[in-house]
């Protein structure tokens, strides 16, 4: 082992000792209360068939795009899909990315400059922080959903200011107060970026769109790997924003364009959801059923992410074990990842009432926090 490898070994040993070692596990075969596939699209045979037929009509879609979109990797499929996405969200334009991580990296790496300030909610996704690391702008954090703290930072900020939030937070399951943030942004002439990764599909075209606030945004990020059942992302905004990203966002410029199969599957996901509005209604029914048990510490009644807190880590370990033995998977989060030990229960349109009853019956046997 050389010195570098010794450092890796020591870092891993520390993680093991703290009980925080990450491992790649075989996919869980049991009952799914942990994935982001909120509407069950990823396993929907009719949806899969639509994508399969689209590819059957043009097998060139199956293989790579051969280069950056600025050189050889652009296609009618990509530009057509971006038009389709922009129309769906009622924005001027859209720019596709192979993942939400890369979309945020691209956007935050270049939207603000040396004398500007990006103010992010402290719970915003890691990809936003990493994008800010690539940027010359300064980054400040405000306490989660705390508008008083946000306003205090807005008063102090210099240069152009961008506020970045998620519409639906993936750990807490709560929403950003978008209307109030728009009002603050107007007062201090700041721009707003909203990441809609967990909201799109669950709430139609997202919570920004639903609240009629799309025109108030500097940019919106939607991702397709969760409720949309496929993979990828788009940045939504003006023609100017798109042209700027195409010219200045390094993760877009210096990377091979997305393969056609990914692009047609995204278009198919929009079509499928527009044809099947009942999926989101069924999901809300399942969330209501879960909340009848009054286990959740999540304030939002309609959120597909519900969090059940436990007084002690050992209780959470025990409940996770009991659930696993019953063939039920839910995601356990321990401090310091979150302030308080909690079970993150992701609810899906395909979870039956019986499955939810079984899950809640097990949780009730442990000391959850009310």
Ligand X SMILES: Cc1ncc(COP(=O)(O)O)c(C=O)c1O
Q: Which residues bind ligand X (CB under 6 A)?
A: 99-101, 104, 125, 127, 166, 170, 195, 197-198, 223, 225, 233
Nearer to ligand X, 182 or 230 (CB): 230
Nearer to ligand X, 104 or 267 (CB): 104
Nearer to ligand X, 157 or 221 (CB): 221
Q: How far is the CB of 284 from ligand X (least distance, A)?
A: 21
Shortest-Cβ-distance residue relative to ligand X: 100
Q: How far is the CB of 206 from ligand X (least distance, A)?
A: 12
Rg (CA), the chain: 21
Q: How far is the CB of 302 from ligand X (least distance, A)?
A: 18
Nearer to ligand X, 163 or 363 (CB): 163
User: What is the DSSP code (8-state) at residue 101?
Assistant: H
Question: Is 229 within 8 Å of 39 (Cβ atoms)?
Answer: yes
Q: How far is the CB of 163 from ligand X (least distance, A)?
A: 15
Nearer to ligand X, 157 or 167 (CB): 167
Quick one: which of 230, 168, 174 has its CA closest to 199?
168
Q: How far is the CB of 166 from ligand X (least distance, A)?
A: 5
Question: Is 287 within 8 Å of 301 (Cβ atoms)?
Answer: yes
Give the C-alpha separation, 171 to 177, whole Å.
16
Nearer to ligand X, 266 or 328 (CB): 266
Q: How far is the CB of 350 from ligand X (least distance, A)?
A: 20
Give the C-alpha separation, 73 to 232, whole Å.
16
Question: Is 97 within 8 Å of 131 (Cβ atoms)?
Answer: no
Quick one: which of 130, 121, 227 has its CA closest to 166?
121
Q: Is the peptide bond before 336 cis (omega within 30 degrees of 0)?
A: yes
Question: Is 245 within 8 Å of 93 (Cβ atoms)?
Answer: no
């Amino acid at each position: 082992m050389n010195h570098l490898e010794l450092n890796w070994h020591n870092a891993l040993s520390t993680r093991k000792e703290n009980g925080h070692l990450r491992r790649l596990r075989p996919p869980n075969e049991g009952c799914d209360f942990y994935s982001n596939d909120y509407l069950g699209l990823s396993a929907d045979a009719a949806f899969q068939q639509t994508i399969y037929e689209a590819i059957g009509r043009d097998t060139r879609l199956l293989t790579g795009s051969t280069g950056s979109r600025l050189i050889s990797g652009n296609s009618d499929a990509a530009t057509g899909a971006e038009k389709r996405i922009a129309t769906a969200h009622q924005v001027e334009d859209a720019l596709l990315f192979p993942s939400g991580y890369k979309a945020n990296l691209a956007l935050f790496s270049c939207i603000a400059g040396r004398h500007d300030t990006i103010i992010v909610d402290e719970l915003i996704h890691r990809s936003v922080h990493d994008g800010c690391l690539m940027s010359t702008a300064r980054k400040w954090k405000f306490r989660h959903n705390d508008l008083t703290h946000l306003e205090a930072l807005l008063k102090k900020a210099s240069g152009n200011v961008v506020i970045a939030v998620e519409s639906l937070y993936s750990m807490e399951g709560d929403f950003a107060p978008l209307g109030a943030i728009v009002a603050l942004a107007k007062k201090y002439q700041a721009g707003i970026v909203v990441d809609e990764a967990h909201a799109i599909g669950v709430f139609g075209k997202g919570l920004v769109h639903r609240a009629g606030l799309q025109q108030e945004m500097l940019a919106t990020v939607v991702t397709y790997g969760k409720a949309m059942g496929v993979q990828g992302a788009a940045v939504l905004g003006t023609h100017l924003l798109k042209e700027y990203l195409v010219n200045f966002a390094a993760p877009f410029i210096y990377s091979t364009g997305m393969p056609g199969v990914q692009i047609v599957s995204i278009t198919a996901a929009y079509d499928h959801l527009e044809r099947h509005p009942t999926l989101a209604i069924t999901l809300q029914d399942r969330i209501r059923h879960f909340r009848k048990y009054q286990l959740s510490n999540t304030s939002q009644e309609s959120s597909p992410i519900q969090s059940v807190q436990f007084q002690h880590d050992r209780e959470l370990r025990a409940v996770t074990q009991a659930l696993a033995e019953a063939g039920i998977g839910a995601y356990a989060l321990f401090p310091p990842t979150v302030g308080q030990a909690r079970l993150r229960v992701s609810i899906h349109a395909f979870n039956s009432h019986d499955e939810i009853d079984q899950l809640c019956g097990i949780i009730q046997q442990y000391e959850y926090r009310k």
